[in-house]
Structure 1
Amino acid sequence: METVIAFIIIFGSLVFFHELGHFLFAKKAGIMVREFAIGFGPKILALRKNETLYTIRLLPLGGYVRMAGDDFDTVELQPGYRVGVILNNEDVVEKIYLNREVSNPNVLFIETEKADLSKALFIEGYDEDGNLVKYNVSRNAIVYEKGQETIIAPYDRQFDSKPLGSRAMAIFAGPLFNFILAFFIFLAIGLLHGIPTNEPIISEVISDSPAYSAGMEPGDFIKEVDGVPVKTWTEFTDIVKSSGSEKIQLKVERGGDLVTFAVTPNTVVNEAGEKVGQIGVMYDPPLEKNPMKAFAFGAEQTYTWTKRIFELLGMLVTGKFTIEALSGPVGIYKATEEVAQFGVFSLMNWAAVLSINLGIMNLLPLPALDGGRLLFFLFEGLRGKPVDKQKEGMVHFVGIMLLMVLMLVVTWNDIQRFFF
């Protein structure tokens, strides 16, 4: 049960901040946001505030921000369509009923001749006495149809009306907020848990390893490798890895004395398929709490993991990783279960890495993803005019179908990996 709660909190937080980025920058650009949703499928909870409906939906596998004009949601009244309207004190339409039967006695029925609920904001048609009438429509008019309420979106509040830069930023802000969230999680870890000092102090020596055979012990403070001074654990491991199987001289401080060891590393193959040296020592650095260093730690970790995930993507493209190595929701759940055993700070670190991963995945130039939409904006900038909406919509639809197939394949791989 604890794993379920941890998974929901982590995944829900990542989706929330991703969609919050879209939401805030859409609002900043003046775009009407019709719905801010966490999850997909049927609504579990719903709250309307002003022009936006905030919902939590049944399937916790993502979320979305529905912007006016971004999904062909504008209301169009065709000639001959019979609608009911309610006027305010200035004879401006503030409510429009598309239902054939309306019980409200204040409703005036019109057989539409012409109407524009986007730019000119008017309805013209024939009333019940056969007279041609024309009414202006309020910018905040509400359309009622089959029990649903929709606020009309004047063109200047629609996504497509905004400059290219504002539209691109509203889309890019989602992944951007995932990187920002990761930074703040790493920052919180640094402030609350502490930052590894990165001092080259051995915490454990693995038995039957080259270091063990050479006589090295926990607590040894590495001072030099082959006569080269080292100040951090990272510097030390980089030299050992690059040495391959060549013998190296280690000078360590032990009990105030300097001791020298000759060690011949074993060679192992890392994730990138490269042969690297390894001497069999473990690192568990002391921690320090320093606000300034915590800030730097947050930035460094965000950069390091971003770089690492891009490297893994490159390995996937070059075939060093196969699709079987990918994980979907089931794999993430199982990984969360394992990470949770190591405590809350390990979960926080895992959440930060997942947030970066979500940001990067959404920036990939694939249809239906944020990166795919940004790619169309790039084409628009180069061409000087937008790509046809119908064609773009078809590309994104095909992309969604392919992503669903990929998700099913990855999920099936996870099920086989963990349950069979």
Structure 2
Amino acid sequence: MEPLTWLYVGGAVLLLFGASIFVHEYGHYWMARRRRMIVLGFAIGFGPKIFSWFRDGIEWSVRWIPAGGFVKLPQMITSEAIEGKASGDIPPASPWSRILVALAGPVMNLIFALAIACVIWVIGLPILVNPPVIGPVDATSTEGKLGVRGGDRIVEVNGHRVNSWQDINLEVITALTNVVPVTVERGGQRITFQLPTKRSEALGLKWLDLEPQERPIIGLVQPGMPAEKVGLKTGDKFLSFDGVYVLNQEHLSEVINKGQGRPCEVVVERDGKKLEFTVTPVFDAEAKRGRIGVGFAGGHYEVQRPGPNPIEQFSKVLNLMGKTFSALFHSKETGVTAKDMSGPVGILGKLAVDVNTDYRLALDFMVMLNINLALLNLLPLPVLDGGHILMALYELITRRRVGVRFQEVVTTGFAVLLISFMLYVTFYDIRRASLFGQLLRQKNVIEHPVATPEKASPTPP
């Protein structure tokens, strides 16, 4: 990427991630002020301070570790591992005040997510175009012997409807068996196959040994190569090459290689029109194959406008969270473990990829991030908001307060465990950093479909 692009992506990522932390902590701060509680500090990030200032007796700071933030409230039970020691002997707040303050952070994240979801509903959302159609199938493979054919459209996996290869991968990964029922549609009929899964050696996750049928789209055109000379452009979608119907990138590469040294007819789709060209593949000595000088787009998106409504967006996130927790709970069957989760590094990497592709994808991820922040913070664990609520409810019900020293020790202990867990997932995030680098470098195509695409006649080369 160009330096200015890096600056844009980096700035946008820090702004979006920081906004999610800020609204959460501001919820705590705002409610604490409403309940007339003492506020000593407001921090974005953890660890050493980058800069800080005092206003109205409150220390405001931005810190080096972008893994969250905190509002220092000595009348709540604080964690010395994160917030430092509270000074003085300050009487605790009432249980109701502590409950309201703890709830305010997650509620602000949900309000923020709802606001972003409404914006997406209005401006639209790029949707990855990858219909669940199977590409070439080797007749000698297990799938081929079972009767699976190229061109079959997958409609159900493990009893759940699927509309894309992302849906297929999610259902396979979270399935509790190594053999998954897959229903395909062929010639108006539905056929169900029991397909074995394979495990990725690198990730340990399950997948189907099937390739998608996807029309290759040009992501870049190399100067001086045959593709540029005949007029092929970025965004062109290959339909056929040398009279052969193109199934996917690998298939196209094979067809191009076979056509080296002779003129080949190429049919592409551009802005809803079919165009014809004649191109002669040249032999690439380094790659040892025929080439025309194009790079394929990493992803092909079409903008859905209006975008999904907020209910659809929230439902999608909750469904994904449910499947994730189920997969973690049944890790022996699914292969999904804590190392597959993302910490701050993974979140920042995903945001960077989305910002670089299209800002609306980053907004969509922000909806998921803020819903996750809200619900995970409500888990009844010390150091999280849910832990504060649980202790306050215990005091309301029993009329007895849990010992302050006990709460401090438990909260600090859980804070250390949380930090250790964050370091653990960050280690695996860093190991996956090369993947984010590849995704940042790849070219994506964003299309804005028109209501009535113009019918086109082929144009001469």
The verdict on a shared fold, with TM-score over 0.5 as the criterion, is yes
Contact 2:125/2:304 (CA < 8 Å) preserved in 1? yes
Residue 303 (str. 1) matches residue 293 (str. 2): no
Paired residue for 2:36? 30
Which runs of 5 or more structure 2 residues have no equivalent in the other structure? 1-5, 79-84, 138-143, 200-204, 215-299, 436-461
Instruction: Find out whether 1:42 has 2:54 as its counterpart.
Output: no
Greater relative CO, 1 or 2 (CA 8 Å, sep 6+): 2
1:170 shift after superposition? 0.6
Distance 1:203 1:390, change over 3 A: closer
The one-letter amino acid paired with 2:354 is V
What is the SS of the residue equivalent to 1:327? Answer: coil
1:18 matched to 2:8: no
From the superposition, tell whether residues 175 and 310 of structure 1 become closer, same or farther in structure 2 (CA, over 3 Å). Answer: farther
C-alpha separation in 2, matches of 1:268 and 1:340: 37
SS at 2:357's partner residue?
Answer: coil
Q: Kindly tell me: are residues 13 and 261 of structure 1, through their superposed partners in 2, closer, same or farther at Cα, counting changes over 3 Å?
A: same
Distance 1:306 1:165, change over 3 A: farther
Partner of 1:287: 304
- Mapped to 2, the partners of 1:284 and 1:270 lie a distance apart of 28
1:244 is aligned with what amino acid?
A: P
Does structure 2 retain, via aligned residues, the 8 Å contact 1:363–1:369? yes
Q: Name which of 371, 380, 405 aligns with 1:365.
A: 380
| Correspondence for 1:317 among 329, 332, 336 | 329
Which of 396, 400, 413 is the equivalent residue of 1:381?
A: 396
Report how many residues are paired: 307
- Is 1:179 the counterpart of 2:110? The answer is yes
TM-score normalised by structure 1 residue count: 0.60
Return the offset for 1:53. 3.4
- CA drift of 1:414 comes to 2.4
> Which moves more between the two structures, 5-14 or 260-269?
260-269
Say if 2:124 and 2:303, in contact at 8 Å, map to a contact too: no
Matched, 1:208 2:150: no
Letter in 1 for 2:321: I
Percentage of identical aligned residues: 24
Equivalent residue number for residue 161 of structure 1 = 93
Q: Which of these residues, 6, 12, 15, is aligned with residue 9 of structure 1? A: 15
Q: What is the SS of the residue equivalent to 1:244?
A: strand
Cα pair distance change 1:284/1:212, threshold 3 Å: farther
The change in CA–CA distance for 1:287 and 1:24 in structure 2 (over 3 A counts) is same
Question: What is the distance in 2 between the residues matched to 1:288 and 1:270?
Answer: 37
Quote the Cα distance in structure 2 between the aligned partners of 1:376 and 1:349.
34
1:270 Cα offset (Å): 11
**1:39·1:57 contact (CA, 8 Å) conserved in 2?**
yes
Report the equivalent of 2:88: 75
CA RMSD for the aligned pairs? Answer: 4.3
How many Å separate the matches in 2 of 1:14 and 1:178? 7
Q: Normalised by the size of structure 2, how large is the TM-score?
A: 0.55
CA shift for structure 1 position 280: 5.5
Instruction: Give CA deviations for 1:131-175 in whole Å, capped at 9, x if unaligned.
Output: xxxxxxxxxxxxxxxxxxxxxxxx5xxxx233x222112112212
Alpha-carbon distance in 1 for matches of 2:395, 2:197: 45
Do residues 391 (structure 1) and 406 (structure 2) align? yes
> Partners of 2:341 and 2:303 in 1: how far apart?
34
Q: 1:202 to 1:362 in 2, by over 3 A?
A: closer
Alpha-carbon separation, structure 2, partners of 1:412 and 1:284: 31
| Distance in 1 of aligned mates of 2:152 and 2:328 | 38
Write out per-residue CA displacement over residues 104-135 of structure 1, whole angstroms, 9 at most, x where no aligned residue.
xxxxxxxxxxxxxx6xxxxxxxxxxxxxxxxx
Q: Counterpart of 1:57?
A: 63
Provide the secondary structure at the position in 2 that maps to 1:365: coil
Given that residues 205 and 212 in structure 1 are in contact (C-alpha distance below 8 angstroms), is that contact kept between their aligned partners in structure 2?
Answer: no
Alignment CA distance shift 1:363-1:4 (3 Å): same
After TM superposition, give the deviation of residue 268 of structure 1 in Å.
6.8
Deviations, residues 169-188 of structure 1 (Å, cap 9, x unaligned):
21122122222222221211
Q: Distance in 2 between matches of 1:391 and 1:358?
A: 27
8 Å contact kept, 2:126–2:360 = no
Matched, 1:348 2:363: yes
Which has the larger displacement, 53-62 or 347-356? 53-62
Q: Compared with structure 1, are the counterparts of its residues 388 and 262 closer, same or farther at alpha carbon in structure 2 (3 Å cutoff)?
A: closer
Aligned partner of residue 367 in structure 1, secondary structure: coil
Deviations 1:368-405 (CA, angstroms, capped at 9, x unpaired): 12222222223223322221111011101111111122
